[in-house]
Amino acid sequence: MILPTKFLPAERSLIVIGGEILVLLGDGPRSVSELWERIRGDKSRKYPVGYDWFTLALTLLYMIDAVDMKSGLIVLTHGASA
């Protein structure tokens, strides 16, 4: 689930989805809704990402202290870089 397996393609693993979120945050803080719209609207994806997987990836990033929430926006922490 966090890492790809032979039954879970890399593109659907939480670590890859989390990486895509970090790239989006490299341009600056964003709301959860804006992040979700950008992830969901990515037409180059082979497998669609559901909201549950998106929130799990965001939670993983928060747990490893890669992101935080400030004034209602998701921001990169000092240790994270896109």
Looking at residue 18, its pLDDT comes to: 96
Are 24 and 30 in contact by the 8 Å Cβ rule? The answer is yes
- The Cα–Cα gap between 70 and 39 comes to 21
Locate all alpha helices (DSSP H) within the chain, ordered by sequence.
14-25, 32-40, 51-63
Question: What residue segments make up the domains of the chain, in order of their start?
Answer: 10-76
Q: What is the mean pLDDT of residues 58-76?
A: 97
pLDDT band at 79 (very low <50, low <70, confident <90, very high): low
The pLDDT of residue 11 is above 90: no
15-66 pLDDT per residue, tens: 999 999 999 999 999 999 999 999 999 888 888 899 999 999 999 999 999 9
- Determine the CATH number of domain 10-76: 1.10.10.10
